Structure 1
Amino acid sequence: MTDSTAFDWRSFLLGWSGEWADSLLHGEMRGEDDEAARQARWLGFPAASEERITALEERLGRQMPPSYREFLKVSDGWRHAGGFVSLLAGTEDAHWHNNESGLADMFEEYLDDDAGPEERREADLWRRGLQLDVESDITHVLLDPEDVDEDGEWAVYTWSSWRAESPARHTDFTAFMRDMHREFHSLQARRSDGEPVFANDTTRRLDAQVEEARLEALRGGWEQAMTALDEAKGYSRARAAGLGDQIRRLLGQTYMVYYDGLVTDPRYAPELLPPLVAEHARHSYRDDSTLTFHLRGADDDLMSRAHATLDRVRDGAYRYTAAGPYGEAVERARELARWGDTDGAWRTLTNALPLWEPLGPDHLAPLGWVADPVLGPLLTPERGRELLSTPRGGQSGEAPRPTPALDPGDLAWLAEPDRGNNRTSYRFVLVEGTEPRELPGRLADADRDADRDGNGTVLNEPMTFWEARQRSLHNQREFSSYDDRALMAVGRAGTGWSFAFDGAPAPFSRQRFVSPAATAGEGTRAVVVWSGLRTPHGKPFFHLSVARDGAEQYAFTYADGEIQRSGEIPPSLDPSRFFDDLEDSAQAERPLLEAVSEQFGASLPRHAIVNGRLHRFTTRSWTRPPRDGETYAVIRMHPAATLPADAERTGDNGPKGR
């Protein structure tokens, strides 16, 4: 809403006129009207009298909106409204459009059969609107008498055929004219090299505003800084877009974020290139022409660096580094994050943020880390706001309140539905007093893994489940209906425990299942949990087994509505506590997980498992070998084959047929 009576039309229009007159290049050819306007330093016309305005309203049968009325009292029309409307109507030329352009027919033709009243009302704009453009570059300006606010202001719509987009809405005539003033500035700011610099009171005010916004952002006042930078960006002031994009990216906004004017500066490229190329890699599908466009003006060395960084990002090999104490904190944070402690990693980064040093005066915050495959998943919008609110770069201010931890510090979160309700079954192994990197040696068969899919007992680089799954399938040459070899993420499960987690296990086979607890617990203690209490197909089940020093201590399996148990189960984990007298076995999932967490003091890192990248490996099979006479299918694929090369049904004694 605009208070039109408070807007100083005369000062605004006089200032615009003077800027326009001073922007004209020496020797530029001008018509008589433009030359007269230049000499008079006035783009307008004589003020319209109240009688002329009243006559206009009587002719149109409507009272004009307040802001347009106030404008007419200062100038009865306007020249060069922005870059594409050379003459704007006053009292004599304003008239109802009445589909003069034929655009109502065109927009109505585009409507779907199920278009709603609002869409049809928008198309009808070209029949009811008040036309203000008199001379333009195929640009239409219409006041909409049906889009009226509580102050009686009519919205203004503009549309140009060559822009190939929907009509742009301006809240009222004042907003429209201010937008056109910004458009004029934006076009002038893009002058070619060698032409006089476009400078005036407005540009000097905005440039000073950009500099103050930069300092305010470093002090932690990112919201105030963003408002100031957005205004300057609307006028295409240098630095405003590049500074504002740094703030936007840390808020999780990636659309139209290009760090304009800064990313091609070699000083800032180490920080700004990685997030730019990482976002490009997400959407490019190997077409790098848009990256070249956004890096126009970069020299050959910078372009070479950009493509090398892009290759590392696509391969998951990019590693963010920084100088000084903050760089040391980055390395500590990555070590924490790659084993699942994302909360600890984030605190490490933010605690060191006051020690961070910018690469230059237009560097507002560390940014390259968002492209790091391990560190990037730490960012959330809330965390981005915390980072931006933290004083840094030599500036002082009040430190923000830390954002809450993302990990609940237990196992019970596994009982909560995930996005899309895909996590209906999962399994994990907890091993006490063991580092995560040691788990493949306890859970994998080195010789078999190396022969079958090349994973061996070496952990893969941190990756998402789907990335790991795709790589595993790419390497795998043999598929067995009997084997159940889990692709598991590893990390630390609280104090004193490590975990291996599989969030998309194969179907549970009660008859063939063999718990890996005993082998995982050689010389220590291990816990195995496999839950399928929420499986949409098949019968619900839950398994728990605990081993110490290579021998199973106790276990139970709930399946087919029955409980099988062995060993001396602690009362806190007694399955009868959870499954007796339950109509829906899924209700037992949360209390069971809470009991396991309390019994062993272990937890699983939710954010790292759901959103992060973790080291992964493939275990030995969770099913026993087939017994004599049991059949199963094996599909072997030759490296060059696109279809199965052969398929056999085999048992202990060899092939049993095809």
Structure 2
Amino acid sequence: MTEETFDWRSFLTRWSEEWVGTYDDSDEPRSAEDEGAWRARWLGFETASAERIAAAEKRLGCQLPPSYRAFLSVTDGWRHAGGFIYRLAGTGQARWHEDGHGLSEYYHDGELDGMWERALQLDVESDMTTVLLDPLDTDEDGEWAVYCHTSWAHCPPTRYSSFQEFMLAQYQEFHRLAANHADREGRAFANDTTRRLDALVETGRLDALSGAYERAAISLTEAAGFGRPRAHGMLDQLRRLQGETYMVSYDGLARDTLYFRELVPLLALEHVRWRREAADWPRQVEAGSEERREAAEEILREVVEGTFRYDTPGPFGEAVERARKQARWGRTEAAWQMLLAGLPLWAPLGPDHLAPVGLLADSVLGPVITPERGRILLATPRGAGPNAAAADPGTGPDDVPESENGLAWLAGPPSDNSHPRPYRFVLVEGAAPAELPARLGGERAELSAPMTREELQRSLFQGGASPTYDDCAVVTVGHAGGASWSFAFDPFPASYDAARYVSPAVAASQDGAASPGARALVVWCVPERGLFHLSAAEQGVQRYAFTVDGSEIHRGDGPIPPALDPAALFVSPAAPGQGGPDGAGEPDRTGERRALEAIAAEFGVGLPRFALTEGRLHTFTTRSWTRPPEPGDTYAFVTFGGALGSAIRPSTVVEPGTPGSTTV
């Protein structure tokens, strides 16, 4: 805005009247200057005439920016610009800064280069606060940017696009500090501005519940800037569901008994994510009583261990439970649709509660709520109670097609742009995910609590010893597309050893019952080696298999279905590590992609990309994918962890009874 569109007189008059109001009921002593301002009900001074402004410009050797000139034409300076600037310069006090405090030594990157030497200084009296107008940082209206630096904040200066924007920000700061001060003294800070903003908070609340979250955010942002009660806590809920975490604290709502269980887990999530010190946790939650401190510690423990479960009363709580059962087996799209169907039945816990934001802390459902889905959630009307129109969460869809399913996504680039990673998986027909430990695991194999890919990776390197012939995989499990298939997926496989490999498909296809047609598939791929293996079994018998290893194709016993013929899928098998036709760059994964597409089409199967890369899934340890060593085989024991890192002890299997033999 320019001086033609902003009424400085009314703005500064309102500010002065509201400042006077902070003293009306206060016993705090006032300085002689403040006493005079209080009696005059005016924080400013006399107006600066056009001649005085022209004289200042002549002294400084430049024309002042429009909004500062307009300000001077109303008052030649200002008192109490916010909480830390006691007096702003008028025509007589404005002067060139010339890096008077040596700050250019500390802040000299980008737009701050040279600013300290060339800027016009406006602070006259302050609490270690410097206000500078930069004549080279201008806009199309001729406004100069303002940089406000507080030495005690230990951070770069805050930039404002103009003097007018700076003064509006200081007015907001005055409101925030005045409201806090009045609250500590047990009195109200109320005026026409606060009443307008409090009405805006209520409008924002109703807009948010109706699904107009963007309009609600505008209202709440304005009110929060003035420090109005409730605004910041509600705005943080909207921000958090859209994936924003910076400076999200819920403004004390977590201390309220109504919202403790809803918001403290979110604080715990950020505490863990940023690896903050354990001693910071009690201060962060300000739990108060011993009982609440213990409850906060228990919530933190559950978040750390990945076992926290979001619960909420009523019909929406029932939808949450059904959704969790879907998400824990990889059906994240079905889980999301269940949550969305039940959302209109959600009821707020109190007047400051805008959405089921606590879902984000749920160990299983939290990853399902992406920022995009968070915006969809916020755009859905909710909070009208059990009489709201909604899909019945009890009959929510169990078989919603998962986005990005199929298998071909495995042949795409990793999300972190790293080199292609090896992978292997088993698909089992006619078995629920919970039954796979019995099919593929050892005698005591059992499902773990759901964990993320990163947690799984960390668990694999916590130490221990293992012989190199033993290849017991830790796999994640879930539904594989259709209703009758399940998967066991290993994202961190050991090295492929054709001489010792034993396909788990044979054991996986045995269910001990007369159920003809039960099938199992195994896929093992090492992209950088140019290796792709497929084996298929039915009722405990291997039906066919093939392995593409670089430029060679090896076929197992049994006829391979035409759609899966490796000679057709891998038209020109690449040499190990070969990229494109010129042999450079990333390995050519065309054959791998064709094979995955053919397997998915032939059996109607798929793997849930989102669940495997971003979600939490159960895991268990399989039996070894390699045979035990035979006489003459050499292997080693490898120890991970410990002070020495790793150690290898070689061993050799010999015939029992041979002098010097060792039984392994």
TM > 0.5: yes
Q: 2:522 matched to which residue of 1? A: 528
Q: Shift of residue 168 of structure 1? A: 1.1
CA contact (8 A) 1:210 1:240 kept: yes
Q: Shift of residue 301 of structure 1? A: 2.7
Q: Alignment partner of 1:284: what SS?
A: coil
Q: 2:252 matched to which residue of 1? A: 261
Q: Deviation per CA, 1:267-322, whole angstroms, max 9, x where unpaired?
A: 1112111111121122235x233332333373333222111111111122211111
Map 1:237-386 to 2 at 5 A: 237-285=228-276, 287-296=277-286, 298-386=288-376
> Aligned AA for 1:387?
L
Q: 2:585 matched to which residue of 1? A: none
CA contact (8 A) 1:220 1:397 kept: no
Q: Are residues 542 and 582 of structure 1, via their aligned partners in 2, closer, same or farther at CA, if it must alter by over 3 Å?
A: closer
Q: Deviation per CA, 1:360-418, whole angstroms, max 9, x where unpaired?
A: 1111111222111111110211000000000000189999xx9x986223111111111
Write the distance in 2 (CA, Å) between the matches of 1:641 and 1:165.
41
Which deviates more, 583-592 or 292-301?
292-301
Q: Are residues 425 and 635 of structure 1, via their aligned partners in 2, closer, same or farther at CA, if it must alter by over 3 Å?
A: closer
Q: Alignment partner of 2:261: what SS?
A: helix
Write the distance in 2 (CA, Å) between the matches of 1:248 and 1:469.
31
Q: 1:409 matched to which residue of 2? A: 405
Q: 2:225 matched to which residue of 1? A: 234
2:653 to 641, 651, 654: 651
Q: Alignment partner of 1:360: what SS?
A: coil
Q: Shift of residue 262 of structure 1? A: 1.0
Map 1:139-538 to 2 at 5 A: 139-191=129-181, 193-285=184-276, 287-296=277-286, 298-394=288-384, 407-420=403-416, 421-446=418-443, 456-474=444-462, 477-495=464-482, 496-523=484-511, 524-532=518-526, 534-535=527-528
Write the distance in 2 (CA, Å) between the matches of 1:212 and 1:194.
28
Q: Alignment partner of 1:603: what SS?
A: coil
Write the distance in 1 (CA, Å) between the matches of 2:510 and 2:477.
18
Write the distance in 2 (CA, Å) between the matches of 1:144 and 1:470.
51
Q: Shift of residue 14 of structure 1? A: 0.3
2:600 to 589, 597, 602: 597
Q: 2:393 matched to which residue of 1? A: none
Write the distance in 2 (CA, Å) between the matches of 1:163 and 1:406.
48
Q: Deviation per CA, 1:450-500, whole angstroms, max 9, x where unpaired?
A: xxxxxx2211111123423444554x7431111111111110001110001
CA contact (8 A) 1:435 1:492 kept: yes
Q: Alignment partner of 2:439: what SS?
A: helix
Is the counterpart of residue 33 in structure 1 residue 37 in structure 2? Answer: no
Q: 1:114 matched to which residue of 2? A: none
CA contact (8 A) 2:636 2:648 kept: no
CA contact (8 A) 2:345 2:388 kept: no
Q: Shift of residue 138 of structure 1? A: 1.9
Q: Are residues 625 and 294 of structure 1, via their aligned partners in 2, closer, same or farther at CA, if it must alter by over 3 Å?
A: closer
Q: Are residues 4 and 302 of structure 1, via their aligned partners in 2, closer, same or farther at CA, if it must alter by over 3 Å?
A: farther
CA contact (8 A) 1:627 1:651 kept: yes
Write the distance in 2 (CA, Å) between the matches of 1:91 and 1:617.
76
Q: 2:611 matched to which residue of 1? A: 608
Write the distance in 2 (CA, Å) between the matches of 1:646 and 1:553.
38
Q: Shift of residue 642 of structure 1? A: 7.6
Write the distance in 1 (CA, Å) between the matches of 2:2 and 2:611.
51
Q: Shift of residue 139 of structure 1? A: 1.3
Is the counterpart of residue 3 in structure 1 residue 5 in structure 2? Answer: no
> Aligned AA for 1:163?
A
Q: Alignment partner of 1:4: what SS?
A: coil
Q: Shift of residue 586 of structure 1? A: 2.2
Q: 2:22 matched to which residue of 1? A: 23
Write the distance in 1 (CA, Å) between the matches of 2:614 and 2:538.
32
> Aligned AA for 1:546?
A
CA contact (8 A) 1:391 1:397 kept: no
Q: Deviation per CA, 1:562-604, whole angstroms, max 9, x where unpaired?
A: 1111311111101110223355552201111100000000010
Q: Are residues 636 and 21 of structure 1, via their aligned partners in 2, closer, same or farther at CA, if it must alter by over 3 Å?
A: closer
Q: Alignment partner of 1:260: what SS?
A: helix
Q: Are residues 255 and 146 of structure 1, via their aligned partners in 2, closer, same or farther at CA, if it must alter by over 3 Å?
A: same
CA contact (8 A) 1:631 1:656 kept: no
CA contact (8 A) 2:77 2:88 kept: yes
Q: Alignment partner of 1:307: what SS?
A: helix
Q: Are residues 16 and 405 of structure 1, via their aligned partners in 2, closer, same or farther at CA, if it must alter by over 3 Å?
A: farther
5+ unaligned residues in a row in structure 2: which ranges? Answer: 391-396, 512-517, 575-579, 581-587
Q: 1:102 matched to which residue of 2? A: 102
1:571 to 559, 562, 567: 562
> Aligned AA for 2:519?
R
> Aligned AA for 1:501?
F
Q: Deviation per CA, 1:509-544, whole angstroms, max 9, x where unpaired?
A: 122211111111115111111112x22xxx311111
Q: Shift of residue 640 of structure 1? A: 9.9
Number of residue pairs aligned between Structure 1 and Structure 2: 628
Q: 1:58 matched to which residue of 2? A: 58
Write the distance in 1 (CA, Å) between the matches of 2:287 and 2:467.
55
2:630 to 604, 619, 627: 627
Q: Are residues 574 and 83 of structure 1, via their aligned partners in 2, closer, same or farther at CA, if it must alter by over 3 Å?
A: same
> Aligned AA for 1:310?
L
Q: Alignment partner of 2:537: what SS?
A: strand
Q: Alignment partner of 1:567: what SS?
A: coil
Write the distance in 2 (CA, Å) between the matches of 1:64 and 1:406.
61
Write the distance in 2 (CA, Å) between the matches of 1:246 and 1:255.
12
The alignment yields a C-alpha RMSD, in angstroms, of 2.5
Q: Shift of residue 81 of structure 1? A: 0.8
Q: Alignment partner of 1:68: what SS?
A: helix
Q: Are residues 87 and 405 of structure 1, via their aligned partners in 2, closer, same or farther at CA, if it must alter by over 3 Å?
A: farther
Q: Deviation per CA, 1:36-73, whole angstroms, max 9, x where unpaired?
A: 11011101111111111111112212111110111111
Map 1:555-570 to 2 at 5 A: 555-565=545-555, 566-570=557-561
Which deviates more, 239-248 or 192-201?
192-201
> Aligned AA for 2:129?
T
Q: Shift of residue 549 of structure 1? A: 0.7
5+ unaligned residues in a row in structure 1: which ranges? Answer: 112-117, 447-455
Is the counterpart of residue 587 in structure 1 residue 590 in structure 2? Answer: yes
Q: Alignment partner of 2:100: what SS?
A: coil
Q: Are residues 590 and 297 of structure 1, via their aligned partners in 2, closer, same or farther at CA, if it must alter by over 3 Å?
A: closer
CA contact (8 A) 2:428 2:487 kept: yes
CA contact (8 A) 2:336 2:368 kept: yes
Write the distance in 2 (CA, Å) between the matches of 1:560 and 1:428.
20
How does the TM-score come out when normalised to structure 2? 0.90
Which deviates more, 204-213 or 310-319?
310-319
Q: 2:69 matched to which residue of 1? A: 69
CA contact (8 A) 2:472 2:621 kept: yes
Write the distance in 2 (CA, Å) between the matches of 1:521 and 1:125.
73
Q: Shift of residue 126 of structure 1? A: 1.9
Q: Alignment partner of 1:530: what SS?
A: strand
